[in-house]
Amino acid sequence: MREIVFDTETTGLNPRGGDRLVEIGCVELLNRCETGRTFHAWFNPDRDMPAEAEAIHGLSARFLADKPRFHEAVQDLLAFIGDAPLIAHNATFDFGFLNAELDQCGHPVVCMTRMVDTLTIAKTRHPGAKLSLDALCSRYGIDRSHRVKHGALLDAQLLAQLYVELMGGRQIGFMLPAEESGDVTAPVGITDVIPMTVRPMRSFSASPEELARHAAFVAKLVDPLWSTVDAQG
């Protein structure tokens, strides 16, 4: 099953009041394993950046001035997310901004039935506990030392690990050592990716040779139990 974990950064809290999406980061999962495929983009919001928003994500109007507008990059984004379920933390916020931008540039909005909210899942797992991304990463032992400021791709990568834990988990301590990744030019204090090594998915299906050997072995069995069951109906 293919799923997309994503996060957004914005100019504020209200897309209906003129706030805009300025960054999106997406991480692809197959059968709840990271494939290493990601999508990341910054957008020029064509408006000022409130100081309180810049303090959270570090994205200034000057930095975003030469970035594409959302409508200029939307086709690449839509091609990446496809028709997969979309996972976010406090997902109604991220869906609200994503759909506002899609609607503004004349694209169909994303159906809310595709939304998976890790905040809702966490509330059922840990009622009464702190449920911020930072708090949940601490609870599950997910390393967030790269997180100096909020960044959409970094937060999506952290959320991908958290989502796997919330849905059943894995042993984080058994992960292979990560390789260093290249630097990404960005405002000081923003780290966009977690260095990681993604191993290719393995197929566990029997090969034609293995199936042939199995059939030859079964053919040698005398009065196997299942033949008696079949005869009895």
Cα separation of 20 and 98, whole Å? 9
- Could you confirm whether 150 is annotated as catalytic? yes
Is residue 209 part of an annotated ligand binding site? no
42 in Cβ contact with 22 (< 8 Å) = yes
Pick the catalytic residue from 40, 89, 150, 214.
150
Is residue 52 part of an annotated ligand binding site? yes
φ, ψ of residue 21 to 5 degrees: the values are -80, 130
Is residue 155 part of an annotated ligand binding site? yes
Q: Which of 98, 120, 112, 130 has the alpha carbon at shortest distance from 9?
A: 98
Is residue 126 part of an annotated ligand binding site? no
Q: By 3-state DSSP, what share of the chain in percent is helix, strand and coil, each rounded to 5?
A: 40, 15, 45
Structure token pair of residue 209:
């040779």
Binding region for a divalent metal cation = 7, 9, 155
Active site residues: 150
Binding region for substrate = 7, 9, 52, 57, 155
Binding region = 7, 9, 52, 57, 155
